[in-house]
Amino acid sequence: NTRVVLASRPVGEPQPSDFRIETVPAAVPGDGQLLLKTLYLSLDPYMRGRMSAAKSYADPVELGDVMVGGTVCEVVDSKDPAFHPGDVVLSFSGWQTHSVIDAHHVRKLDPHAAPVQSWLGVLGMPGFTGYAGLLRIGAPKPGETVVVAAATGPVGSAVGQIAKIKGARAVGIAGGPEKVAYLREIGFDAAIDHRAPDFAEQLAAACPDGIDVYFENVGGAVWSAVFPLLNDFARVPVCGLVSHYNDTAAPAGPDRLPGFMSDVLKKSLTIRGFIQSEFVQSDFKAFVGDMSGWIHAGRIAYREDIVDGLENAPAAFNGMLAGRNFGKLIIKVAEV
């Protein structure tokens, strides 16, 4: 078993030395367990949080432990009658080539229903995050303006396209002309490059009626440009703050909190954080039905950025935090 473990806690951007690749003998499955071979590993921004010891909604990865992550795996050996070698399952076995796991922790996938790796992206946790956060908290009405950044990623692209399906206007924000062109191709009403020097002016021009729903994925300069454009009764599902994940200190003053709170009050804003797991019980089944239907009907497009080789996971992960991925970032760990 080859695996990537957390070697040290990063300060700022993770460095190659914060990860260690090691090879250990594969474990042997006991009763009710499976030996899995990883086919695909999902890389997601939340993993930066797990590398830090700061208190969060989930425990950190301990030093020397395997980096966590969602995976699609093939069953190699089964000590559970419901699974057989060759079955493909959705697991959470992390950054490693093999794992032993209790069978009740995995879900069998039908390889004919959808490309198996799509359960890590458009049909999986990130797609669900966009769906649940937008519909449960953003609750866009027809004709309203919905804005989302990191819009070519798996969360943002779901948000924008579902907003369109619900009759809203979708404005996407992304880094660079290629990503912006892609957003227009897949049906966003407007798309803006957050790296443009006149980004805030372009955003204002793209939102002539203000913003009713801002799905917050990034924070930073994007949030600063969005905030003055929020309409009365706007909703802000706070999903992620990826522009801050490598921050080492709070930004220098002035203290903008009083002005911010004053607008929250005067505009009756709803700013509501969420972790997608909150909605799994109530909404995941409906999500899979809706999302599969929309994909088949050509109403949702999705893009995957598949990188070969577990050894390339640390660099690819850093690239994602900096916007060098284009679509859902997935590591292909072994041939299907």
Which spans of this chain sit near ligand NDP (rule: CB under 6 A)?
A: 44-46, 126, 129, 149-150, 152-156, 174-175, 179, 194, 217-218, 220, 222, 239-240, 242-243, 274-276, 320, 323, 325, 329
CA dihedral sign, ordered 298, 87, 106, 25: negative
Nearer Cβ to ligand NDP, position 78 or 157? 157
Structure tokens that stand for 55 in this block: 């208190």
CB of 266 to ligand NDP, least distance (A): 27
Of 172, 245, 196, the C-alpha closest to 12 is 245
E strand or H helix that includes residue 304: strand 304-308
Please state the closest distance from residue 121 (CB atom) to ligand NDP, in A: 8
Closest to ligand NDP by CB, 100 vs 159, is: 159
Identity of the residue, 189 or 278, whose beta carbon is nearer to ligand NDP in the bound complex? 278
Q: Which is nearer to ligand NDP, 4 or 158 (CB)?
A: 158
Residue 29 CB, nearest approach to ligand NDP (Å): 30
Question: DSSP H helical segments within the chain, as ranges?
Answer: 46-50, 125-132, 154-165, 177-185, 199-206, 220-226, 257-266, 280-296, 313-321
Q: What angle do CA 184, 185, 190 make, to 5 degrees?
A: 10
Min dist CB 308 to ligand NDP, Å, is 18
The number of beta carbons lying within 10 Å of the beta carbon of residue 162 is: 25
Which CB sits closer to ligand NDP, 138 or 156?
156
Rounded to a whole number of angstroms, the minimum distance from the CB of residue 59 to ligand NDP is 16
Tell me the closest approach of the beta carbon of residue 176 to ligand NDP, in angstroms.
6
Based on CB atoms, which residue is closest to ligand NDP, 75 or 225?
225
Q: Kindly report the three-state secondary structure assignment for every residue of 67-85.
A: CCCCEEEEEEEECCCCCCC
Nearest distance, CB of residue 125 and ligand NDP, angstroms: 6
Which residues partner with 172 through β-bridges?
148, 191
Q: Judged by CB, which is closer to ligand NDP: 35, or 211?
A: 211
Q: Which residue is listed with tokens 């999903």? A: 239
Residue 178 Cβ vs ligand NDP, minimum distance, rounded to whole Å:
10
Nearer to ligand NDP, 243 or 318 (CB): 243
* Residue among 13, 107, 17, 42 nearest 310 (CA): 42
The minimum distance between CB 157 and ligand NDP, in angstroms, equals 8
* Nearest to 314, CA basis, from 12, 1, 15: 15
Beta bridge partners of 36: 75, 99
* Residue 36 vs 239, nearer CB to ligand NDP: 239
The CB-based long-range contact list for 242-245 (8 Å cut-off, 24+ gap) reads 242/45, 242/150, 242/217, 242/218, 242/321, 243/218, 243/219, 244/219, 244/220, 245/45, 245/48, 245/49, 245/321
Query: Within the chain, how many helices (H) and strands (E) appear?
Result: 9, 15
Distance, CA of 165 to CA of 256 (rounded, Å): 36
